[in-house]
Amino acid sequence: MEPGLTMNQALAEASRCLLCHDAPCAAGCPASTAPDLFIRKLRFRNLKGAAKVIKERNIMGGVCAVVCPTCSLCAQGCTAAGLDEPIAIGALQRFIVEHAWNIGFNPLEAGEPNGHRVAIVGSGPAGLACAADLAKAGYSAVIFEKQAAAGGMLQYGIPNHRLSREFLERELEDVRALGVKFRLDTAVESQADLDRLGADGFEAVFVATGAWHCATLNVAHRDGSGLVDGLTFLMEAKEDKDELRAGLTGKEVLVVGGGDTAMDAAVTAKRAGARDVSIVYRRSFVEMPGSPGEKRLAMDDGVHFVILTQPVDYVITDGKVTGARVVRTRLGDPDASGRRRPENLPDTEHTIAADLIIEAIGLEPAPTIRHLDALTIGDGERIQVNEDMRASADLPIYAGGDAVRGASIVAKAVRDGKAAAAAIRRDLEGELKKELGR
């Protein structure tokens, strides 16, 4: 990770803030982290107060600060842009959170135990946010995590150059400090598993299992050599840098896709020693869904951008993927997403050779989500919920994050976790009142 701001840099940046009467930045944060408040508190040297604002509202305040695409959220409406450039809100947020860590200040406290028990499935940002809010209200919150380490996509899907394990670990400490329990290596992926939670005394379940299933252009070769999906590549890269470096040094790598996973994979491959890394994308640069910061980073690292180019299949030699067959495209009329649709140009098919092709063309919840019979699964394998994050009309099951939205940003997962915690509290404490009244 790049180093954060120093105290003086943060104060200088905060002094650029116009302290708006009706701060547009505040409205732009899905997690309601209140940048207007924490920047003002920083400006008036109330650093503890600033940290309190962030961490009380967003338990993942540190992670969000470093991975959030602020330019399309809080910073998008920043009034200072009318003078020069938007305030570096993410950088200030990171400074405040790290400052609090450095001085050992933790503004969060677990609530007086109220006897309620809630199970959370998945330890990504949605699950963590839900668990933290419940713990603050006195709940016993237990997170069940299939993987060996907590954090979900933050732990496995975001490369170290954007979010280091040490940084994430420090933020997870704040969750543990609230008394949230983690059951690692413990999958909850069948209706029987869910039923068992009820039998174990959990009164509600929040399902936040994320979106871990990668789309592919060629199912037949998914497990063949020379072809890997972006998430698997990033997970392996996170585990063992040396092995990755040995495998990639001097190699030609193609990355298919234009989102942040594609950018992360491309930068990771380049930094691991690949000779050339090319991102192949079927529309043009501005249509790429990757955030501007990540696209910029990939460019600065020397990743090639092969735009207006559509892969149609892979070249397979002796059972190994050795290249991609591609055609050139042009942009037609906008599609449902509002972006102009790519149209293949005739007689342009050609082959790009590659030692490794990384597919990063979309993530969705794994098909195994359908094993949870109590849930209704909609388009893109997404769990259907009502406005209270309730995923079942009969049972106290709630869901949020990427499992509901499809692949999205951390701040929105945090929003869902907070909303689910609020709904769970309303439901359970309402019942408690009923019981007491009886």
| Residues at the contact surface with another protein, assessed by CB under 8 A | 8-9, 11-12, 14-15, 18-22, 24, 43, 79-80, 82-83
* Closest C-alpha to 253, from 230, 269, 239, 268: 269
User: In the complex, what is the shortest distance from the CB of residue 81 to another protein, in angstroms, rounded to a whole number?
Assistant: 8
State which residue, 83 or 353, has the beta carbon closest to another protein: 83
State which residue, 80 or 217, has the beta carbon closest to another protein: 80
User: In the complex, what is the shortest distance from the CB of residue 7 to another protein, in angstroms, rounded to a whole number?
Assistant: 9
Residue recorded with tokens 């592919």? 216
User: In the complex, what is the shortest distance from the CB of residue 103 to another protein, in angstroms, rounded to a whole number?
Assistant: 13
User: In the complex, what is the shortest distance from the CB of residue 8 to another protein, in angstroms, rounded to a whole number?
Assistant: 6
3-state secondary structure of 379: helix
User: In the complex, what is the shortest distance from the CB of residue 42 to another protein, in angstroms, rounded to a whole number?
Assistant: 10
Gap between the Cα atoms of 125 and 411, Å rounded? 8
Gap between the Cα atoms of 294 and 163, Å rounded? 13
State which residue, 36 or 174, has the beta carbon closest to another protein: 36
What are residue 398's DSSP bridge partners? 206, 390
* Closest C-alpha to 403, from 236, 209, 166: 209
* Closest C-alpha to 397, from 207, 209, 126: 207
State which residue, 9 or 384, has the beta carbon closest to another protein: 9
User: In the complex, what is the shortest distance from the CB of residue 293 to another protein, in angstroms, rounded to a whole number?
Assistant: 24
Gap between the Cα atoms of 23 and 320, Å rounded? 55
DSSP states of 65-107 as a string?
A: HHHS-GGGTGGGG-GGGGTSS---HHHHHHHHHHHHHHTT---
End-to-end CA distance of the chain: 56
Gap between the Cα atoms of 327 and 416, Å rounded? 40
User: In the complex, what is the shortest distance from the CB of residue 18 to another protein, in angstroms, rounded to a whole number?
Assistant: 4
State which residue, 77 or 224, has the beta carbon closest to another protein: 77
State which residue, 5 or 158, has the beta carbon closest to another protein: 5
Q: 372 and 190 in contact (C-beta within 8 Å)?
A: yes
Tell me, letter by letter, the H, E, C secondary structure of 402-421.
HHHHCCCCHHHHHHHHHHHH
Gap between the Cα atoms of 347 and 344, Å rounded? 9
Instruction: Identify the H or E element spanning 238.
Output: helix 230-239
User: In the complex, what is the shortest distance from the CB of residue 17 to another protein, in angstroms, rounded to a whole number?
Assistant: 9
Cα distances (Å, whole numbers) of residue 309 to 125, 167, 275: 34, 37, 21
State which residue, 99 or 295, has the beta carbon closest to another protein: 99
User: In the complex, what is the shortest distance from the CB of residue 57 to another protein, in angstroms, rounded to a whole number?
Assistant: 23
Two tokens at 94?
Answer: 């990171």
State which residue, 19 or 184, has the beta carbon closest to another protein: 19
State which residue, 10 or 60, has the beta carbon closest to another protein: 10
Q: 214 and 362 in contact (C-beta within 8 Å)?
A: yes
State which residue, 1 or 18, has the beta carbon closest to another protein: 18
User: In the complex, what is the shortest distance from the CB of residue 40 to another protein, in angstroms, rounded to a whole number?
Assistant: 12
* Closest C-alpha to 423, from 396, 388, 397, 391: 388
Gap between the Cα atoms of 291 and 63, Å rounded? 16
